[in-house]
Structure 1
Amino acid sequence: MSALRRSVVLLTTACTAAATLAGVGLAGPASAAPCGNEGLLGSSPLGQALGNAFGSSGAGPLLGRSSAQGALPVVDSGNTRPVAWVTGGRSPNRTDTRFGITGTDLGISWDNGSGQTLMAFGDTFGDCNAPRQQWRHNLILRTTDTDPADGVTIGDGVPGDVRSGAVVASATPRYASESIPALEVSGVEVTTIPTAAIAIDGVQYMNFMSVRQWGGPGRWVTNSSAIAVSRDNGQTWATDPKTVRLNLPVSIPGVEQIDDSNGKYQQSAYLRGHGEDQYIYQYSTPNGRYGAAFLCRFLPGNILDLSKYQYYTGDAGDPWSSETTKSKAVVTEPVSELSVSWNKRLQRYLMLYGNEANGTIAMRTATRPEGPFSAPVTLLTRQQLGGVYAPYVYPSTGGDDRYLYFTASRWLDYNVMMLRTDLSQIAVG
């Protein structure tokens, strides 16, 4: 989608949304602190520093040149332990000096199909005293590390090298480039954030959400979700307009997939079927962290054709439908950022997500992609490690299937860490 066409779509959406936004109650900022700001995007201390995306004035005090990342947290009870920081100045990767990353989140990881793991990160900050605090809406890092037991090692970024550790320009070889731009206009489009990714036949596909407005902790409003495509290993990305799922019942020429049920598919996780199952499954939630999880599936060659998607209905006699409106929840709310994978040790599908209501990172299992899913098993509580969110399964175990490795982010540090769950301590029915 061209920048002009994207602007027209989003501005039209914003006009239609104006009355809706008035009744949503978007009073407070989210609760993160990149560069020492009181909130992540949308709080007044960021105003002049980052411009009209935040609709405020006056830049508040900053905490030096980087985000306030602490030492790796220690968890001495339960089934899950932090392994290492992946990002930040305290990480072995020193992303502050090597990639201009002092604060970021998410770290969605997937096998690129040719010996690398790609990782997609959300809103990213660098030098906190630089113009706009070196804010990028999202970016990609790459690694060949298949043993996460001591964390993830990311190689140097090399200009023009599509297999190097980061996408960098020759003029700024120590500054990771943004992947998908945003308009940066509050109430229209503040940012664009990856939510899921997968490789099919050497092509990379990344699902992302266009955020219209931040709300209170765990709440935000999206314009849409869509799929961006990269045919050069994440070096460049192009949004396919046919995959846009608008989060409002509006009519935009050339975008046909518009109905109220698209709101269920704003944040996603991809899963490959196990064994002879040829389908790719897409689990999704509405915007924010308080919705249920829904499910659709498609054959790999149809990922960009939403008309070929099938939606889980919950009807045992007719479980899959081409109608989005028949999509039923597979896991009840609240489900925040999630990831799903097949686990060899457990011989089950495994879902990780955050529960915003009780402050836990939870795991559920199922023998079929559509479930039924087990009751949640707690991996972390807020008492053990507060402010942790967005658990994404890492696609390698280093050869030891006792452990499940996943990345997660913590508000206090606004950086991504690798964690490890001891599956021998997990009972499954």
Structure 2
Amino acid sequence: MPSSFERPQGASRRSVLKAGLGAAAAIGGLAATGGAVKAMSGGSGKSAGLSGAVDPPVFKVADLTGPGLSDRFGMHSTDLGIPVDAGDRGKLFVFGDTFSGPRVGEGDWRSPTGLYSKTTDLNSGMKWDSAVGGDYGRQFWGYDHHPEQGNTVLPTDVIRIGDSLFLFVTCVQPFPNVLFSEIWRSDNNGESWDLVTPGIRADHLGGRFQMVTWGLGSNNTVYVYSTGFRGPGNARGILLQRVAADRIHDLGAYEGWGWDGNQWRWGVEPSPILDGKFGEMCLRPIDGQWILTFLNEDNPLIESIVMPTPDADLVHTNRRHILIANTAWGTEGGNRVAQPYGGFIIPGSTLRELHFCVSQWKTDGDDRGWPYRVMQFKALGLDAI
């Protein structure tokens, strides 16, 4: 990959790329708005009732990155940590903006990066065996970061299909201005990557195909939730599509779930299934059901919804729960985290014991820039509530 990208067809050729440091601080600087989550009456109506059930007990398991944890791989400061099964390498965790120094903006800047773990006891906390690139965490493909441009490539989700990994990324410059998105493929558990879907326009599906999560169903169909990239003015609402697993790279093969004027059905232009402003999302099949975790930017909170199928009603459900609540620095504890985002589910989780990655970034004060890390939490009893 050259050190600069081409814009999608129809735009001028010039060096473009990724998320900036000055404006990008907003990605972690989430201030509570107190706004309620707005909900549309979308969905298939396969579940009933209103949200408001008791939320699950949530506990911190471990810090996963930072000094003494990931710095030996040149990855002292990093975020996201999107996990996926990596075959004989164990689990691959994909990280976003990564710095070798002790704070955001210090040292060698890379994104995406990855760490491997063969930890099987999730309650012990993930331990790192190696990085993509060996002893030093290498950027997945080559391009140059320019702090004055604020250019970066940010991963939103990764999925395993057969022996291949597929990674969705969004290219921004500066944050939160999305230039375009891409899908990359790896056939060696993440050690090298090939571009398979270049130049997905920022306005595709009305700007709601910039932040993507996907899960593989037992019918060899991939279900895809998407929304606008987080930040001021992003397109509101989550869309649902599906695609045959062997055509995940072909946007022309995606089929939308939407309201046709009389009913919700497949094969129409996708309609928002949940209204609101959302950040990172994670859709996974677990224990014969499906779970979506997401950053609700309106509050902000990391929430979950358990559902029987991906096209279930996300609005009128009593299985929507708060996993992580935002709190002030110095008041953290239990499920209260200052400036949280992420929420990516770790393979091996069950609904009874759901392990997930939470990011944190301090963006104000004299000590801003640290913490900028990934932590592991677990929620108990989502199968019973």
Asked whether the two chains share a fold, i.e. TM above 0.5, the reply is yes
Instruction: Say whether 1:338 aligns with 2:281.
Output: yes
Q: Is the alpha carbon distance of 1:332 and 1:317 closer, same or farther for their aligned partners in structure 2, counting shifts above 3 Å?
A: closer
If each structure's helix is expressed as a fraction of its own residues, which one has the higher value? 1
Instruction: Say whether 1:223 aligns with 2:179.
Output: yes
Counterpart of 1:393 in structure 2 is: 345
| Amino acid corresponding to residue 91 of structure 2 in structure 1 | T
Deviation at 1:181, TM superposition (A): 3.8
Percent identity over the alignment? 23
Q: Is the alpha carbon distance of 1:381 and 1:395 closer, same or farther for their aligned partners in structure 2, counting shifts above 3 Å?
A: same
1:320 pairs, out of 266, 277, 280, with 266
2:210 pairs, out of 266, 287, 297, with 266
Deviation at 1:313, TM superposition (A): 1.5
2:255 pairs, out of 280, 292, 310, with 310
Q: Is the alpha carbon distance of 1:198 and 1:131 closer, same or farther for their aligned partners in structure 2, counting shifts above 3 Å?
A: closer
Instruction: For 1:11 and 1:319, locate their aligned partners in 2 and report how far apart those are by CA, in whole Å.
Output: 32
Q: How many residues of Structure 1 are paired with residues of Structure 2 in the alignment?
A: 333
Q: Is the alpha carbon distance of 1:29 and 1:202 closer, same or farther for their aligned partners in structure 2, counting shifts above 3 Å?
A: closer
TM-score (norm 1): 0.70
Unaligned residue ranges in structure 1 (runs of 5+): 19-26, 34-38, 40-76, 156-164, 215-219, 249-259
Q: Is the alpha carbon distance of 1:423 and 1:313 closer, same or farther for their aligned partners in structure 2, counting shifts above 3 Å?
A: same
Instruction: For 2:169 and 2:351, locate their aligned partners in 1 and report how far apart those are by CA, in whole Å.
Output: 30
Counterpart of 2:49 in structure 1 is: none
Instruction: For 2:144 and 2:8, locate their aligned partners in 1 and report how far apart those are by CA, in whole Å.
Output: 9
Instruction: Say whether 1:87 aligns with 2:37.
Output: no
Instruction: Say whether 1:294 aligns with 2:232.
Output: no
SS in 1 for 2:259: coil
SS in 2 for 1:319: strand
Counterpart of 1:359 in structure 2 is: 300
Question: Which whole-Å deviations, capped at 9, do the CAs of 1:70-116 have from their partners, x for residues lacking one?
Answer: xxxxxxx96111100111115xxx211x2011110000011135562
Counterpart of 1:152 in structure 2 is: 126
Instruction: Say whether 1:204 aligns with 2:165.
Output: yes
Q: Is the alpha carbon distance of 1:311 and 1:134 closer, same or farther for their aligned partners in structure 2, counting shifts above 3 Å?
A: same
Instruction: Say whether 1:121 aligns with 2:92.
Output: no
Output the aligned Cα RMSD: 3.2
Instruction: For 2:180 and 2:212, locate their aligned partners in 1 and report how far apart those are by CA, in whole Å.
Output: 12
Instruction: For 2:263 and 2:148, locate their aligned partners in 1 and report how far apart those are by CA, in whole Å.
Output: 43
| Amino acid corresponding to residue 205 of structure 2 in structure 1 | S
Instruction: For 1:182 and 1:306, locate their aligned partners in 2 and report how far apart those are by CA, in whole Å.
Output: 25
| Amino acid corresponding to residue 338 of structure 1 in structure 2 | M
Deviation at 1:168, TM superposition (A): 2.8
1:1-400 matched pairs, under 5 angstroms: 2-3=1-2, 7-9=5-7, 13=11, 28-31=23-26, 79-90=57-68, 94-96=69-71, 98-114=72-88, 116-128=90-102, 133-155=107-129, 165-168=130-133, 173=135, 175-185=136-146, 190-214=151-175, 220-240=176-196, 242-248=197-203, 260-261=204-205, 263-274=207-218, 277-288=219-230, 291-315=236-260, 319-321=265-267, 326-344=269-287, 347-373=288-314, 374=317, 376-383=320-327, 384-397=336-349
1:409 pairs, out of 342, 351, 359, with 359
TM-score (norm 2): 0.77
Counterpart of 1:44 in structure 2 is: none
Give the conservation status (yes or no) of the 8 Å contact 2:351–2:380.
Answer: no
Instruction: For 2:23 and 2:382, locate their aligned partners in 1 and report how far apart those are by CA, in whole Å.
Output: 41
Deviation at 1:211, TM superposition (A): 0.9
Instruction: For 1:339 and 1:230, locate their aligned partners in 2 and report how far apart those are by CA, in whole Å.
Output: 20
SS in 2 for 1:104: coil
Q: Is the alpha carbon distance of 1:246 and 1:95 closer, same or farther for their aligned partners in structure 2, counting shifts above 3 Å?
A: same
Unaligned residue ranges in structure 2 (runs of 5+): 17-21, 30-54, 328-335, 363-370
SS in 2 for 1:307: helix
Q: Is the alpha carbon distance of 1:146 and 1:331 closer, same or farther for their aligned partners in structure 2, counting shifts above 3 Å?
A: farther
Deviates more, 1:331-340 or 1:289-298: 289-298
Deviation at 1:239, TM superposition (A): 1.4
Question: Which whole-Å deviations, capped at 9, do the CAs of 1:174-205 have from their partners, x for residues lacking one?
Answer: x2111134453579771001111112221111
Q: Is the alpha carbon distance of 1:202 and 1:31 closer, same or farther for their aligned partners in structure 2, counting shifts above 3 Å?
A: same
Question: Which whole-Å deviations, capped at 9, do the CAs of 1:217-236 have from their partners, x for residues lacking one?
Answer: xxx12111110111222111
| Amino acid corresponding to residue 337 of structure 1 in structure 2 | E
Instruction: For 1:350 and 1:130, locate their aligned partners in 2 and report how far apart those are by CA, in whole Å.
Output: 32
Give the conservation status (yes or no) of the 8 Å contact 1:14–1:187.
Answer: no
When Rg is computed on C-alpha atoms for both structures, the one with the higher figure is 1
| Amino acid corresponding to residue 334 of structure 1 in structure 2 | K
Higher relative contact order (CA 8 A, sep 6+): 2
Counterpart of 1:68 in structure 2 is: none
Question: Which whole-Å deviations, capped at 9, do the CAs of 1:261-320 have from their partners, x for residues lacking one?
Answer: 16211111111114xx32111111111155311111111111122211111113475722
Instruction: For 2:92 and 2:73, locate their aligned partners in 1 and report how far apart those are by CA, in whole Å.
Output: 15
